[in-house]
Amino acid sequence: MERTITRRIGLVAHDAMKKDMIEWALWNSERLVVHKFYCTGTTGTLIKKALQEKHPDVEWDITILKSGPLGGDQQIGSRIVEGEIDYLFFFTDPMTLQPHDTDVKALTRLAGVENIVFCCNRSTADHIITSPLFSDPNYERIHPDYTQYTQRFANKQIISEAAEQVAKRKRKQNKTRND
C-alpha cells in the first residue's frame, strides 16, 4: 500500500490573480484533495466554493483566515514560523502596487527564513505540484539552524552594560536635581 503524505499549503492571491489561482486549484484538484490548506479570506472562500462545486462529495481541509490586507498575510506568516505551512503558493500581481506590500515582502522573507517552498505564479506552482518530491512521503525540507543567531548575545555583557548606563543616567539626574 502506497503511503500518502498530507502537505500543509498556504494559498494567497492578489485580486488580479484570484482567477488564475482558482483555475489552478480546479485543474489540480485531484492532486490537492489530500492536503491541508490555509488561505487568506477572499482567496480561500473562492477556492473552497469552486472545489466544493467540482467535488461536492469531498470534505476539503481548508482553514480560511482574514483577508490579506486585514491581517491574513500575518496569519499566514505566523503559521509559517510555527511550522504549520510547508508550501506557500502566493500568486502575486506584478503590475499593481499593493497597499500591503510590506506584508507581501514579509511573507517572502519568512518563506526564505523557514526554507519552505514558495512560488508566486502559476507556472512555478505547476512545476512544484508535479514534482516527484511533492508526493514523496520521505521528502522533508531542511530546517535551518538559527542557534548561532538566537544565541548571539549569550556571551556578551549587554544586560549589565545597559544596567550600568541606567545607573549612570540616574546618578547624573540626581546630581542635577541636587545642585
Residues involved in catalysis = 73
Whether 50 contacts 42, CB under 8 Å: no
Q: Which residues contact 170 (CB under 8 A, 6 or more apart)?
A: none
Whether 9 contacts 38, CB under 8 Å: yes
Cα–Cα nearest to 116, from 105, 104, 103, 107: 107
CA separation for the pair 170, 178 (Å, rounded)? 12
